[in-house]
Structure formats: structure tokens, C-alpha cells
Amino acid sequence: MHRIVLGLSYILALSCILALSASHADEIHRTVVSIGPFSVIQEHCDENQQYACDFNLYEHDQFRLPLVTAWEKGLNVELESPELIHLSYGFPFNAHHSIFISKDGVVQALDEVLAVDPKIGCIARMTWEDKANIMFQNTFSSKVAQKVQLEIGQEKLSSLGFLGAYQVIQQAEFDTNGNFHYRYQDQDGADQAASVMQPCLKSI
């Protein structure tokens, strides 16, 4: 009987701890970044460890839609302007995910974004398909403005397995005139530097 009472006491104590932990998790409500009436809120996670957090979009403090669910790391604010915000997340040497949010609350999710021109919102990102390509498109549009194929050997692509963009691209950036500059290793292992002039002003 004594053992049963001790067992019940332990279960009751554990239940209280779990209830307090759940209550504490529900209290987390941290603003990551805002644009106009829209805010990205981190919530439903442990405040100290930031474990398995939800990141949701709110409008005027009202829940609008989920962005990332049960994510174990934070979101990076890559770009913040009056027109849009760019958030990114992912593991090193693996798929890199981006979320774009406009001042009107339009949300766009893309993978393997290399760089964004903050002036006109031109996006450069990697796509793999049969070859390694850099695709250019405007934010909040699915239309491809231009595509550049990289001269990377199929053997190298196969040996790398599941690629992340930064396993191929060493440098990628837009200059102040909207021109895109990048550097990578070709199929012979030689460094190649190249530029694409104002890629989002053209259309394929």
C-alpha cells in the first residue's frame, strides 16, 4: 500500500511539472520581425532552449497563417525593407528555405535562395532539375526572368548527393545596379567568376 501511495505521489508531481511546462510554453509569444500590420511571431516553445517552436504570421495581433511548424532553430532575418521581409532557415550543408512577406501580407516560400536585390526584389536561387541552374525571378511571382546553367559535371553532382546551394556557389551577390555576380567551381575544379547583367529586367 505504501509503494502504491508513493507511486501515485510521483505521478501527481510529474503531472504538475508537465502542466507547468505546457503552461510556460504557451506563454511564449515573441515578435521576430514586422512589416506594416503583419508580424512573424515565435510561440509554443520553451523560451530558454527555443525547442520545436512555431513561427506564425499575425495581422493586427490576430493569427493569420502558420509559416514554420515545430522548428528547432530560429529564423534569420535576411532582408527588412518597407516593401518586404526575407526570412531564412535550414541546416548547414543542406536545403536552405526562404520565406518572403510583402507589406500587403503576401507570402512566398522558396528554396535555395542565393541573393536578393533589395531595390527591385529580384531573387537569384539554385535549382537542380537535370543540371545545376541559377534561376532569376521577381518576388511574389513564379515567372522565371532568366536562367543560367552552371558547367558542373554530372559526376560531381552525383557524388555530392543531396546538394545545398552553398556546396556549389562560393559567392553570390547583387551590386547597386542590379547586376548579379557569382563564383563557383566548374566540372574541372577550376574557380569561375561570372556576372549576369540586371537579370530580372529580361525574360526567357
User: Which of 137-146, 181-190, 194-203 has the highest average model confidence (pLDDT)?
Assistant: 137-146
Please state, in angstroms and rounded to a whole number, the distance separating the CA atoms of residues 144 and 6: 67
Mean pLDDT for 58-69 is: 96
Cell numbers for 170: 562560393
pLDDT of amino acid 103: 95
pLDDT higher at 17 or 107:
107
Residue with cell 541559377: 134
Mean pLDDT for 18-47 is: 76
Cell numbers for 162: 543531396
**pLDDT at position 75 over 50:** yes
Please state, in angstroms and rounded to a whole number, the distance separating the CA atoms of residues 32 and 29: 10
pLDDT of amino acid 69: 92
pTM: 0.78
Mean pLDDT for 21-30 is: 61
pLDDT tens readout for residues 172-190: 999 999 999 999 877 677 7
Mean pLDDT for 18-40 is: 74
Helix (H) or strand (E) holding 26: helix 2-27
**pLDDT at position 131 over 90:** no
pLDDT higher at 166 or 120:
120
Question: How many residues belong to the chain?
Answer: 204
